[in-house]
């Protein structure tokens, strides 16, 4: 039994080392610019097949990196939703989209790589689909999006969809750029992740509540 426990702990530690190394390398260099061999070496694994043995394909590895963060982000969003209740204030619902991510990044200390990892994954349609699939199974995210939708002014379906895409892009790349600046020790517009979340929410409120120009189909 002791031998099995030690083996399980060793496997768990190896998997964590691989995930941490892959997240950092993917964030800094891009997913397809990094080989499994490079990930294994960065994780201290002498066996060139260690990454494939523990995680399978590169897509499986990306999914595992995403999954290690989603539970903690989910917990934060559940807490925020409980505090929001049935608020009619749109800001509260936008906060439920923004702050789970910024609070999670703040909790990781510095440097972090998760935001830049997500930005790199977003550049590849197939890999980005993995992130979308993971988010769709999040009950709290579905609740936050539905709550926001119910409180937005009436918008044409195409405008609502377009602004949803813009909102996701803004959150993703603003967090990635701040994370990069913190890692490099360069100045950031906001002093803390909480302040950055406030700025993001302000910008997203402007986006969602902006007037729209009707388009005339020809």
Top CATH class, 1-56: mainly alpha
Q: How many residues does the chain have?
A: 218
Per-residue confidence of the chain (218 residues) as pLDDT tens digits? 666 677 777 888 999 999 999 999 999 999 989 999 999 999 998 777 889 999 999 999 999 999 999 999 999 999 999 999 999 999 999 999 999 999 999 999 989 999 999 999 998 888 888 887 777 788 999 999 999 999 999 999 999 999 999 999 999 999 999 999 999 999 999 999 999 999 999 999 999 999 999 876 65
Query: 59-209 has which fold?
Result: Tetracycline Repressor; domain 2 (1.10.357)
Would you state the structure tokens that stand for residue 109, as one six-digit string? 């200390």
Q: What is the 8-class DSSP label of residue 46?
A: -
Other CB atoms within 10 Å distance of the CB of residue 98:
24
Q: String of b and e for 111-137 (b: at least 16 CB within 10 Å)? A: ebbbbbbbbbbbeeeebeebbeebbee
Helix or strand (DSSP H, E) at 198: helix 193-209
Contacts 24+ apart (CB under 8 A), 164-169: 166/207, 167/97, 167/204, 167/207, 167/208
Residue in 65, 44, 80 with CA at minimum distance from that of residue 112: 65
The domain locations on the chain are 1-56, 59-209
Q: String of b and e for 24-60 (b: at least 16 CB within 10 Å)? A: bbbbeeebeebebeebbbbbebeeeebbbebbeebee
């Amino acid at each position: 039994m002791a031998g099995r426990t030690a083996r399980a702990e060793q496997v768990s530690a190896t998997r964590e080392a691989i995930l941490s190394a892959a997240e950092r390398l993917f964030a800094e260099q891009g997913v397809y610019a990094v080989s499994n061999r490079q990930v294994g070496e960065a994780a201290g694994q002498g066996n060139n097949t260690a990454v494939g043995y523990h995680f399978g394909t590169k897509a499986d590895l990306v999914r595992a990196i995403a999954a290690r963060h989603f539970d903690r982000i989910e917990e934060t969003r559940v807490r925020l939703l409980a505090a929001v209740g049935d608020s009619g204030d749109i800001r509260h619902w936008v906060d439920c989209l923004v702050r789970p991510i910024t609070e999670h990044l703040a909790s990781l200390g510095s440097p972090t790589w998760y935001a830049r990892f997500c930005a790199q994954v977003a550049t590849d349609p197939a890999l980005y689909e993995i992130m979308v699939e993971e988010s769709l199974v999040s009950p709290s995210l579905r609740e936050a999006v539905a709550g926001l939708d119910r409180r937005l002014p009436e918008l044409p379906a195409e405008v609502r969809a377009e602004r949803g895409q813009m909102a996701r892009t803004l959150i993703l790349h603003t967090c990635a750029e701040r994370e990069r600046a913190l890692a490099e020790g360069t100045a950031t517009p906001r002093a803390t992740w909480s302040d950055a979340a406030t700025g993001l929410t302000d910008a997203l409120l402007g986006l969602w509540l902006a007037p729209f120009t009707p388009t005339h189909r020809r």
